[in-house]
Amino acid sequence: MSKNDSEYLNNLRHSCAHLLAKAVKDLWPGTHNAIGPAIENGFYQDFDFGDRKISDADLPEIEEKMRIILKTWEHFDYKEVTLKDAKKLFSDNPYKLELAEEFAKGGKKLLTNNPGNFLDLCKMTHVENPKKEMQHFKLLKLAGAYWRGNEKNKMLTRIYGTCFPAKEELDKYLWQQEEAKKRDHKKLGKELSLFIFSNSVGPGLPLFMPKGMIIRRVIENYLVKLKESYGHHFVWTPHIARSELYKQSKHWQKYEAMMPPLKLEDEEYTLKPMNCPHHFQIYLANPRSYRDLPLRLAENTTVYRYEKSGVINGLFRVRSVTQDDSHWFIPHNLIPSEIDHAIKLTKQIYEDFGLSKFHARISIRDKKNPDKYLGELKVWESAEKELAKAVSEKNIPYSLGEGEAAFYGPKIDFMVEDSLGREWQLTTIQLDFNQPENFDLTYTDEKGEKKRPAVLHIAILGSIERFLGILIEHYGGAFPTWLAPVQAIVLPISDKHKDYAHRIYNQLTEVNLRIEEDNRNETLGSKIRTAELQKIPYVIIVGDKEIKESTISTRRRHEKQDLGQMRIKNFIFMIQKAIDNKTNN
């Protein structure tokens, strides 16, 4: 098995969680280890320390103990035991006893493993040569966690760590983590006055400041213009609907993030969690012919989802989700060309936002649990083949994500790589044969016969809030000029230069550039530092020489040397070229 395989990495990291448990129990006898699974990019182990308190300051000592123990670990020995045996072996650990009884009740085998000096109860597999394979690990942080995730249970101490097959991979990951802290969108969002959260409004409900709203508006206007050039028709739908609409679509029965219902005149309504049922009503408003298809309806609108408080995370996971949503109603014979059309649109948007590295994941149904999905097996098989064919013909690398499809259809998810090498899931292109059945969507074909269209559900950015959070971290807050809320700032050297500076400011705003001027009674160096902290792309400086020669002096962000003096018309040409070309300046 390749050391890059997710299965191998899970085994490696889970094995390291055992090593962590052994080190902690040696350092603090009487400590109980609970569970220690592999997670994305690492692992954790939960502990009950009793009355003891540990902190992040203890992590180096634990790491050192782990390295000493690892030298003695040759391989894991496995043994199947009875419940009676398990109760005897782990009589001092209430967490292992609870797990043993649960496994036995569910008909699962009870397995122990032992790398030589640490017997544990575990159902996962591990690496074959611990001493050799587990050398490159790092403990990251501590957190609190309720046993089994239930707040009625005892609070345990959770220690997070990571492990990689090679030192270079570990070093890269740790560098990413440090850089990510500097680029944290929550931190930069506050420093750059982009958005806030208010306890009075509620968790997961961001409020966008003027500068943040400028970026949102630029993104949304860009999407409208581009999508219209790709044949989209924009619509508007309300933010609530009768609950019956979502019962008809089966979201009510299947979708866990539905908002609680509300009463209006004794009827049950809900905040909309998605737009497709609304767009279906627009399709049904008129009889449709094959001449009307494909019909591409689009809307940039906010939907509402009941995300639990424990998973809310800045702009990445919110309860008010603005989607760049579209639904394409298409005859079945046009499915390949329309998917190709959607992929072409997606690639152009990624290119414009500076996200050039991406791959696809085809999310298909869980074949072992067919009851989770709507529709017939042959319909699903057809849809899954169409998506895989479309991606492969575009020479886009892809993988299969079994069990990750929505309940009414398979989908293509596009995973993009940011400037730190992290992957983010963005675009979803979902092929749906089931909702047209639920809503009795039809059109008349060339022979005058009624046919059922397919529907493509497409969100290229997904959530605009989440996408903005990704962009903040991708660019470290230093947005390219076309996206930057402030594209240039005018700095007079002293008070006597303010009038000229203001004339420059007016000339630039007249050509629709987003300009500020800094007239504070501060030194020029202080003003420049402020502009740098605000990550403004261009700084314009005016003093005696500039007034005398009717010029400006300009410096560009990230460049130590000034661009020098230039005529204002030359600056306008330069900055507009950067905006039009969407260059990363």
Known catalytic residue: 323? yes
DSSP track, 432-497? ESSHHHHTT--EE-TTS-EEPPEEEEEEEEEEHHHHHHHHHHHHTT---TTT-SS-EEEEESSGGG
Known catalytic residue: 452? no
* Model confidence pLDDT, tens digit, residues 219-243: 999 999 999 999 999 999 999 999 9
Residue 384: the pLDDT is 81
| 3-state secondary structure (DSSP) of residue 190 | helix
Residue 399: the pLDDT is 84
Known catalytic residue: 325? yes
| The amino acid at 414 | F
* Active-site option among 96, 288, 323, 413: 323
* Active-site option among 457, 466, 555, 557: 457
Residue 560: the pLDDT is 66
Q: CA end-to-end span of the chain, whole Å?
A: 44
C-alpha span between 244 and 441 (Å, rounded)? 17
Q: What's domain 210-232+287-475's architecture?
A: 2-Layer Sandwich (3.30)
* Active-site option among 327, 341, 361, 557: 327
* Model confidence pLDDT, tens digit, residues 241-291: 999 998 898 888 777 777 888 888 889 999 998 999 999 999 999 999 999
DSSP track, 5-63? SHHHHHHHHHHHHHHHHHHHHHHSTTPEE----EETTEEEEEEE-TT----GGGHHHHH
Q: What's domain 488-581's architecture?
A: 3-Layer(aba) Sandwich (3.40)
C-alpha span between 578 and 585 (Å, rounded)? 7
Pick the CATH number of 6-183 from 3.30.980.10, 3.20.20.70, 1.20.1070.10, 3.40.50.2000: 3.30.980.10
* Active-site option among 120, 324, 325, 432: 325
Residue 155: the pLDDT is 94
Residue 1: the pLDDT is 40
Residue 2: the pLDDT is 47
Known catalytic residue: 317? no
* Active-site option among 136, 216, 305, 555: 305
C-alpha span between 65 and 86 (Å, rounded)? 27
Task: Specify the length of the chain in residues.
Answer: 585
The residue ranges of every structural domain in the chain are 6-183, 210-232+287-475, 488-581
C-alpha span between 264 and 249 (Å, rounded)? 21
Quick one: tokens of 323?
Answer: 């989607």
Q: Which residues pair with 470 in a beta bridge?
A: none
User: Cβ distance 189 to 314 under 8 Å?
Assistant: yes
Residue 4: the pLDDT is 53
Taking 70 as the pLDDT cut, the residues of the chain under it are 1-4, 374, 408, 560-561, 585
* Active-site option among 158, 411, 466, 527: 411
Known catalytic residue: 185? no
Q: What rounded mean pLDDT belongs to the chain? A: 91
What does R_g of the chain's alpha carbons equal in angstroms?
Answer: 29
Residue 400: the pLDDT is 78
Q: Tell me the C-alpha to C-alpha distance, in Å, between residue 61 and each of 32, 57, 68, 136, 139.
A: 18, 8, 11, 16, 10
